Amino acid sequence: MTSQLRPALSLFAVLTVMTGVVYPLAVTSIARLAFPEQAQGSLVVRDGKPVGSSLIGQSFTDAKYFWGRPSATAPMPYNASASTGSNQGPLNPALVDGVQKRVGALKAADPGNTAPVPVDLVTASGSGLDPHISVAAAQYQTARVARVRGLAPEVVASLIARHTEGRLWGVLGEVRVNVLALNLALDQTARP
């Protein structure tokens, strides 16, 4: 029995050190060298303080800010430790009710807006953490944000254009706007 136990425990110890210490340290070191910003969480820093991540959405509910996609994470929105979709199908009454409530909130915040509500403003992404919205979703909110901030709609539209990100390598994904970056730019824009 001991002749089998000793090699098994030795192999267990070696593999534990390799997979639990050596491999994570190697991957982390390579990531820090090759992708330093991403390895540190893609933090967005203002005035020396981190205000968020460019890769994880944040909850903005004030009418003076652009609102992102709803988050399906629990127990709070944009909880990175609970990344998940809602797994609710299109016929699920909870999904239909949630979408109707979000459409109602958007209409209440901007009653004069008669444009159709872009789908990404009322449905969560697969991860529940998406920091981006479509250009259409940003444009839908332009009038509200401009009115509440006392800015000309053209100023807000130009900020959207400056913060629009293209497709990855020109082909992957969709054209999108990072909500945190856009809202931070809004905060730095002075009223006329």
Distance CA 133, CA 55 (A): 12
At residue 191, the pLDDT reads 60
User: Which phi and psi angles does 164 have, rounded to 5°?
Assistant: -85, 130
Q: Is residue 59, in this structure, part of any structural domain at all?
A: yes
Q: Are residues 54 and 16 in the same domain?
A: no
Q: How many domains does the chain have?
A: 2
Is 32 among the domain residues? yes
**Does the bond joining 75 to the residue before it have cis omega, within 30 degrees of 0?**
yes
Q: 179 is in which domain, residue-wise?
A: 42-187
Domain membership flag for residue 192:
no
| Model pLDDT, residue 181 | 93
* pLDDT score for 190: 67
The answer on 88 and 11 residing in a single domain is no
Same domain, 64 and 159: yes
**Whether residues 50 and 138 fall in one domain:** yes
Under DSSP, is residue 29 helix (H, G, I), strand (E, B) or coil?
A: helix
Range 184-187, long-range pairs (CB < 8 A, 24+ positions): 184/44, 184/46, 184/51, 185/159, 186/64, 186/65, 186/66, 186/145, 186/149, 186/156, 186/159
Q: How confident is the chain (192 residues) per 10-residue block, as mean pLDDT?
A: 86 95 93 83 81 84 92 78 75 87 91 92 83 94 94 94 90 91 89 58
Question: In this structure, are 131 and 73 located in the same domain?
Answer: yes
